[in-house]
């Protein structure tokens, strides 16, 4: 398994492993292109997007509008639906042949399946769930920064002797690459030789989510509840405040683990990373994994009984008090304000 | 179903780790080492299959001698045997080096139908070891499993993803990682506690070293790990928080809403 010493000079270019979701380019792919281009500029190398699929050439071509130098489209009938071993094998062969210096993934279900396998096959280092990627200006190595120990520790890793340097990036931390009418790159279609048609795991069907997706990642206003609600019915009050503000309901890990609310509402490093304009944390003490998931909110409001709750150290405005008194008072004040607004309307 | 291997990890209870604000150092006092909570779902699923099909459940862990505690806990919950993989040469291993060691141990144990791993570990949280073991053993895998039905030689599996679930059909041998939704891990039983900690408890534990597994020390530990630590620091945020003062909830609410309105947030 162990390869003989790798000549790192043979490796060049920054690869982004893109994803299509139901035929559309996934948002994280565009975010990765943005990061990939920044890294490639520092190294003076090309940014290349790799996409695996079947019958999607038109959509794949649109990636050129985001300023990439090349799109490598691996196309094969049996890669129409995602399968772990097929995708791994196809990308592995291309990496071995073309030797990219850096390979980036979004921290998505697909990448969680294939990136570790690729790293093991290539005998190289993968740092997953990064929050920041940069280049060491002294020697051009990829610096991969992530949180550890429940968010308490920020660690930066390198992969000094092995190639490619691999990383998965948490979605919604970086902005997407800009769309540009002018294109300069091209699409190269790769028809891989798939040796094994039987990958043992057979796709039967997709089971759609029962209700509509809770889109925390793009929400402008989020009102979240935590253990301080005391009981599941507390989320009714949270929803009332969210509805009054036109926002979305979020929750802490503790509230989700207590079974009070569906896990899709979970905000934090272990749930969804959010960056709303307004984040209102009600009865959330502020574990580090929660704090790191709301860090980029423009304005954080904390309501908590405990004046020493850590959330008060990172909020913009804090109210010490019983949320069952404070939230109804807030709703009343907001309604009053809106009423005044309408009253003044000619 | 013959034999099921469950990979578990001993981790510090990270939720209790905090930062001493004045010094910026980790609070480590009274932090206990526990079985990684995600691994309990993996173990529970193995035990459910054991109860139905009379399979044998072996738990394995790589770690220092005190990691034997999590093996004993697993046996007290119903596992049959525990294997501790311990060698000085393994310390400092990154995920890939760890996966190589675990894969070598699994190869030695052999004859398995399913390998279970937890979704991730609360301390490292890389979620890489499961898929890497599968790759090194050339096995198929399904991660984030939230339901398993065994139908003869086939497994019907529901995998959770961001945009819905997938129904998959597969066969053994296979590596599976579990979600927390899949089950509610059981507590140890009196009989289990006796089995693990009683007179013959130690007979259920075996210890493997690098030599037992024919592992080249250069391929594991710090030297054999492709990923190196470059830098680390404590996470902290300096922000000025304004506390809203007032006598009653109503007064505080009014002040806050006026401020938010001035700042155009509402």
Average pLDDT score over residue span B118-144: 91
- In this predicted model, what pLDDT tens digit does every residue of A272-306 receive, in sequence order? 888 899 999 999 999 888 988 898 888 999 999 99
In chain A, residues under CATH classification 3.40.50.620 are 8-198
Whether B163 sits inside 8 A of A209 (CB atoms) is: yes
The more confident residue out of B21 and A75 is: A75
- In this predicted model, what pLDDT tens digit does every residue of B199-243 receive, in sequence order? 999 999 999 999 999 999 998 998 889 998 888 776 655 567 889
Average pLDDT score over residue span A193-210: 75
- Residues of chain A numbered 33-72 and touching chain B (CB < 8 Å): none
Contacts of A157 (CB under 8 A, 6+ apart): A125, A127, A143, A144, A146, B227, B228, B229, B230
Whether A338 and A247 have beta carbons less than 8 Å apart is answered as no
Contacts of A333 (CB under 8 A, 6+ apart): B250, B253, B254, B256, B257
CB pairs under 8 A between A and B: 246
Band of residue A340 on the pLDDT scale cut at 50, 70, 90: low
User: Distance (Å) from the C-alpha of residue B21 to the closest C-alpha of chain A?
Assistant: 10
Distance from C-alpha of A79 to C-alpha of B60, rounded to nearest angstrom: 35
Average model confidence (pLDDT) across chain B: 90
Interface membership of B232 toward A (CB under 8 Å):
yes
Model ipTM value: 0.85
HEC-encoded secondary structure of A161-176: CCCCEEEEECCCCCCC
Weakest mean pLDDT among A143-157, B50-64, B178-192: A143-157
The class of domain A216-343 in CATH terms is alpha beta
- Residues of chain B numbered 94-113 and touching chain A (CB < 8 Å): 94-96, 99-100
- Residues of chain A numbered 266-305 and touching chain B (CB < 8 Å): 277-278, 287-288, 291-292, 295, 298-299, 301-302
Contacts of B200 (CB under 8 A, 6+ apart): none
Per-residue pLDDT, A342: 60
Whether B163 and A23 have beta carbons less than 8 Å apart is answered as no
pTM equals 0.79
Yes or no: domain A8-198 corresponds to CATH 3.90.320.10: no
In chain A, residues under CATH classification 3.40.50.1220 are 216-343
Band of residue B29 on the pLDDT scale cut at 50, 70, 90: low
Interface membership of B142 toward A (CB under 8 Å):
yes
Distance of CA A213 to the CA centre of its chain: 16
Band of residue A216 on the pLDDT scale cut at 50, 70, 90: confident
Weakest mean pLDDT among A96-100, B41-45, B77-81, B259-263: B259-263
Number of C-beta neighbours around residue A140 at 10 A = 14
Per-residue pLDDT, B35: 95
Band of residue A1 on the pLDDT scale cut at 50, 70, 90: very low
């Amino acid at each position: 398994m162990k390869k003989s010493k790798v000549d790192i000079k043979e490796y060049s270019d920054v690869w982004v492993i893109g994803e299509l979701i139901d035929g559309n380019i996934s948002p994280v792919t565009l975010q990765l292109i943005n990061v990939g281009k920044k890294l490639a500029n520092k190294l003076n190398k090309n940014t290349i997007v790799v996409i695996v699929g079947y019958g999607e050439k038109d959509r794949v071509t649109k990636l050129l509008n985001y300023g990439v130098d090349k799109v490598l489209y691996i196309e094969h009938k049996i890669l129409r639906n995602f399968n772990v071993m097929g995708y791994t094998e196809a990308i592995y062969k291309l990496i071995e042949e073309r030797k990219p210096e850096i390979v980036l993934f979004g921290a998505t279900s697909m990448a969680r399946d294939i990136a570790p396998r690729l790293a093991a096959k290539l005998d190289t280092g993968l740092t997953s769930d990064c929050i920041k990627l940069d280049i060491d200006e002294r020697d051009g190595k990829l610096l991969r920064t992530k949180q550890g120990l429940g968010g308490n520790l920020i660690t930066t890793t390198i992969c000094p002797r092995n190639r490619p340097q691999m990383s998965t990036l948490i979605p919604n931390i970086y902005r997407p690459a800009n769309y540009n009418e002018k294109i300069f790159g091209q699409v190269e279609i790769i028809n891989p030789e798939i040796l094994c048609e039987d990958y043992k795991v057979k796709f039967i069907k997709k089971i759609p989510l029962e209700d509509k997706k809770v889109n925390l990642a793009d929400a402008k206003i989020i009102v979240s509840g935590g253990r301080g609600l005391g009981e599941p019915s507390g989320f009714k009050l949270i929803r009332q405040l969210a509805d009054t503000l036109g926002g979305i309901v979020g929750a802490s890990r503790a509230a989700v683990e207590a079974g009070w609310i569906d896990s899709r509402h979970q905000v934090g490093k272990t749930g969804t990373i959010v960056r709303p304009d307004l984040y209102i944390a009600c009865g959330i003490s502020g574990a580090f994994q929660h704090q790191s998931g709301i860090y980029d909110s423009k304005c954080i409001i904390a309501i908590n009984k405990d004046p020493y709750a850590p959330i008060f150290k990172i909020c913009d405005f804090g109210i010490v008090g019983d949320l069952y008194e404070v939230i109804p008072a807030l709703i009343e004040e907001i309604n009053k304000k809106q009423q005044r607004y309408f009253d003044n309307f000619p | 179903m013959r034999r099921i291997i469950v990979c578990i990890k001993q981790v510090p209870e990270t939720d209790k780790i905090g930062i001493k604000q004045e010094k910026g150092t980790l609070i480590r006092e009274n932090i206990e080492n526990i079985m990684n909570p995600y691994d309990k779902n993996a173990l529970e699923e193995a035990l459910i299959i054991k109860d139905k099909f009379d399979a044998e459940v072996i738990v394995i862990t790589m770690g220092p001698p005190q990691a034997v505690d999590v093996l004993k806990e697993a046996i007290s919950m119903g596992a049959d045997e525990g294997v501790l993989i311990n060698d000085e040469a393994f310390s400092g291993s990154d995920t890939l080096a760890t996966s190589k060691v675990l894969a070598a141990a699994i190869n030695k144990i052999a004859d398995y139908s399913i390998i279970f791993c937890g979704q991730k570990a609360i301390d490292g949280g890389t979620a890489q070891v499961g898929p890497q073991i599968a790759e090194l053993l050339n096995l198929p895998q399904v991660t984030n499993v939230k339901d398993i039905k065994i139908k003869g030689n086939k497994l019907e599996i529901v995998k959770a993803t961001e945009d819905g679930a997938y129904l998959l059909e597969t066969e053994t041998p296979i590596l599976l990682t579990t979600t927390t939704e899949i089950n509610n891990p059981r507590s140890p039983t009196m009989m289990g506690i006796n089995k693990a900690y009683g007179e013959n408890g130690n007979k259920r534990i075996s210890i493997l070293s690098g030599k037992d597994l024919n592992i080249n020390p250069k391929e594991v530990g710090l030297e054999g790990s492709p990923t190196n630590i470059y830098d680390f620091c404590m996470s902290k945020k300096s922000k000025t928080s304004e506390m809203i003062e007032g006598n009653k909830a109503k007064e505080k609410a009014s002040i806050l809403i006026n401020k938010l309105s001035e700042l155009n947030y509402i």
